[in-house]
Amino acid sequence: DIQMTQSPSSLSASVGDRVTITCRASQGISKSLAWYQQKSGKVPKLLIYAASTLHSGVPSRFSGSGSGTDFTLTISSLQPEDVATYYCQKYNSAPWTFGQGTKVEIK
């Protein structure tokens, strides 16, 4: 099975900073990658699918890029409401494996 590895596991940044999270697949998955945000105690929310397509209602400060094995989620200007854990998920074929998550905090 394809493994999904996120880095870093956690990060702390200041409001307004540009934040980048990386997700690497152990084999190529084309652009079959989604990103989710999960705030503490809440249900996960879809942010991005097809590696770079913003889901409806998601703020434009979020963006995704990549294809094949290397993917990036970028928050262009970190806001206090972005404190959350972010997960990537591959969906080219079963199993639809998630990355282990990246916890984003405000410095």
List contacts with another protein (CB under 8 A): 1, 32, 34, 36, 38, 43-46, 48-50, 53, 55, 85, 87, 89, 91, 94-101
Closest by CA position to 105, among listed 8, 19, 21, 11: 11
Nearer to another protein, 16 or 57 (CB): 57
**Closer Cβ to another protein, 17 or 103, answer by number:** 103
Report the SS3 class of residue 82: helix
β strands within the chain, DSSP E? 4-7, 10-13, 19-25, 33-38, 45-49, 53-54, 62-67, 70-75, 84-90, 102-106
Least gap, CB of 48 to another protein (angstroms): 8
**Quick one: 76 or 91, whose CB is closer to another protein?**
91
8 A C-beta contact, residue 44 and residue 60: no
C-beta of 83 vs 98, nearer to another protein? 98
Q: How far is the CB of 16 from another protein (least distance, A)?
A: 28
